[in-house]
Structure 1
Amino acid sequence: MEIKNNFNLIRVVLSIFVVLSHSYPVAGLPEPTYFYMSAGMLAVHGFFAISGYLITRSFERSPRVLSFAWNRLLRIAPGLVVAYLFSKFAYKAFDGYAGNPLVLLNASLWTLPWEMLCYVAVGLVGVVGALNRNTFPALYCSLWFIFIMHLGDDGRLFYFVTAMLMMFLTGAFIALAEHRLSVPKAALAAVFVMLVVFTQTGIDALSALVKVADFAYGPKFPIGGIRQALYVAALSFIFIYLSVYAVRVPFFKDDISYGVYVYAWPVQEIVVKLMADHGLAPGGLSVFLLSMPPIVLLSWISWRLIEKPALGMKKLLAIRKTQVTHQIRS
């Protein structure tokens, strides 16, 4: 099945959600949440779900570990290195953001090592022959069982990181099992699950159901953990539906989402610094509106001059391998 290219659009929207969400803490204000979920965290989960789908598809197309690693490196490293250097330069140029409420070099980058860990996991699972339609569903169910057994864990690592990894895992599962799934129907069901998770009426109904169907003599699953499990199970189907099955939007050919993500924080720090230096009180919405134009410009430059040319080097490894093979045969 040919993938409809709504991925760029959805990822741009998600990256804007991250910028909006971060505009508040960088201004010294509490990050807005709805039922304990911020727009930024929702967006990050969406990124991981989409990444799980696309990276798995990528390994299916090119199941050689070396080429897979090379392609992933080209997508992540060049833009990341330049964005990091920009972050360092901005930090020094603007006096270490002295006086800003929250001073960090680039807070958005914390998710990237976890995403790269997911790439490594895809490569390892592929090497052992488990990244296929027959074997992976069993692995997926096993990991879900482990996840459910830890629903009572309220640690930050489990709450923030494990959910991201499960989103990636579910995206990978959809990529391998969608020939047996009706993703549109699953996405519709996922919308109803979201209504349960993110409405007080739904939570009350879920609490009543859990109370009636409590496990005899066993540990009680906290309602918060059950909500998280339902949310993790459902969200990936919604984003994959929007990216693959929804009506195609015929623009957003430039993939600026990565640039928006990695340049947003230093730009926001600069905006807060400049506002304070001019006697203006930074607010979440004002920081967002003032930050977006330079963020989009930097992201577009990054895509055109760094990321896209780097992706054009994907064929170098294949060409080199062909040359070596030809030399051996000759």
Structure 2
Amino acid sequence: MDQHRNSLNALRLLFAGAVIVSHAWLLGNYGPEPALFGINLGRAGVMGFFAISGYLITLSAQHSRSVSEYALARFARIYPALIAASIAVAFVAAPIGAILTGGSYDLGGAFAFLGAALALTIGFLGPPHIGTSLLGNYDADTWNGPLWTLSWEALCYVIIAIVVMAARRRTDAGRASLGAVVLFVAVTSQITVRLQGGVITSIVDVAMPLMAFFLAGSVLAHFRERIPVGLVPIILASAAAWALLASGLGSVLAPLPLSYLVLCAGSLRPFARIGARYDISYGVYIYGWPIQQLLAALHVPATMPPLGYAALTLVAVWPLGFLSCVLVEQPAQRWRRAWTARRNARQPQLIAD
């Protein structure tokens, strides 16, 4: 895949929009959301996100000169925008929500939410309440639901760092490829055990399939030079994914063919210009839910169907995604590149000394 001319940013924006559309059914209290093989649009979008992340983060780890350079790249990518969004929710959206719903705003709860968001513990411990600032909303507890996925994505970052960097220390790149495959098999095996034990109920059981998609993307990154891309492989992968989903084993075995299809779609160039200059997908993803909650506090879902509610959310969240990109994410990336360049420029001198 051409790392400079691909449609991965366009796909991520599509997936972020899919998550917002999916959440409209829940937050608008429209009833059961349509799903295919038990996978709704939002879950499919997050799976796509994790597949792309697994591929790109593995490449980032392979290209990083050190653990610190890799860690800084990951920090600069997710943390500055997360800080801004968490502050906006805790100290702007929640007070507005309390006014709109007639609930109460709790400053201590706001700081607890901010701490949990920045510590990336929401995916493990759940989100703290900010008083009753969502009083009357169908989901009266959660101000930013998608943040739970960042906890698990960060865990995947650590796993990839260990696999790639540990193999590099042993000067054997093949060990990293083997390690990625072993981890993928281990995760999918655990999913099988849990599925056989009964209905999926815990957050771990929901998160493990996402980790499987992340690791599937990582496996594809390790073997990218050997994996063919063409009409026949795409047809075979599509047939395999459909058959596995229909059999009920989609969570266990489908991540690899589905991730392959996602990355094949990402390799197409017609949509390469979307997000090339302004990648707003992350901002859309982390601001979508709070906007939907505010619209729900205004009783918007009672006045329109779910797709109308979702469309209004997408219109409202686009400026926030753009501002996050221009004012937070891009400056953070420029700082990271400048710091890395200065550090790498000093290294030869340090060695010479």
TM tier relative to shorter chain:
0.7 to 0.9
Instruction: Look up the match of 1:193.
Output: 240
Task: Quote the Cα distance in structure 1 between the aligned partners of 2:176 and 2:139.
Answer: 43
Deviation per CA, 1:86-115, whole angstroms, max 9, x where unpaired? 111201112113211112110010000111
AA at the equivalent of 2:157: Y
Greater Cα shift, 71-80 or 133-142: 133-142
SS of match in other structure, 1:129: helix
Report how far residue 197 of structure 1 moved.
Answer: 4.0
Instruction: Look up the match of 1:116.
Output: 154
Task: Quote the Cα distance in structure 1 between the aligned partners of 2:229 and 2:182.
Answer: 22
1:35 pairs with 37, 46, 63, which one?
37
AA at the equivalent of 2:242: L
Alignment coverage as a number of residue pairs: 303
CA contact under 8 A between 1:21 and 1:39: conserved in structure 2?
A: yes
Answer 1 or 2: higher relative contact order, Cα 8 Å, separation at least 6: 1
CA contact under 8 A between 2:180 and 2:219: conserved in structure 1?
A: yes
Q: Which runs of 5+ in 1 are unaligned?
A: 204-222
Task: Quote the Cα distance in structure 2 between the aligned partners of 1:248 and 1:128.
Answer: 38
Task: Quote the Cα distance in structure 1 between the aligned partners of 2:254 and 2:165.
Answer: 31
Task: Quote the Cα distance in structure 2 between the aligned partners of 1:243 and 1:133.
Answer: 25
Instruction: Look up the match of 1:288.
Output: 310
Deviation per CA, 1:281-302, whole angstroms, max 9, x where unpaired? 4642232021111111110111
1:8 aligns with 2:9: yes
2:217 pairs with 158, 164, 171, which one?
171
AA at the equivalent of 1:251: R
Q: How do 1:4-153 residues align onto structure 2 when only pairs under 5 Å count?
A: 4-29=5-30, 30-88=32-90, 89-95=92-98, 96-103=133-140, 104-129=142-167, 134-146=174-186, 147-148=188-189, 150-153=191-194
Q: TM-score, normalised by structure 1?
A: 0.84
Instruction: Look up the match of 2:113.
Output: none
RMSD of the TM alignment (CA)? 2.3
Change (3 A) 1:231 1:324: closer
Q: Percent identity?
A: 28
Task: Quote the Cα distance in structure 2 between the aligned partners of 1:46 and 1:162.
Answer: 14
Task: Quote the Cα distance in structure 1 between the aligned partners of 2:33 and 2:317.
Answer: 20
Instruction: Look up the match of 1:230.
Output: 253
Change (3 A) 1:173 1:285: same
Instruction: Look up the match of 1:319.
Output: 342
Task: Quote the Cα distance in structure 2 between the aligned partners of 1:328 and 1:316.
Answer: 19
Greater Cα shift, 156-165 or 11-20: 156-165
AA at the equivalent of 2:283: G
Q: Which runs of 5+ in 2 are unaligned?
A: 99-132
AA at the equivalent of 1:10: L
Deviation per CA, 1:196-249, whole angstroms, max 9, x where unpaired? 245xxxx4xxxxxxxxxxxxxxxxxxx53x3322322211001111112x2332
Task: Quote the Cα distance in structure 1 between the aligned partners of 2:176 and 2:233.
Answer: 19
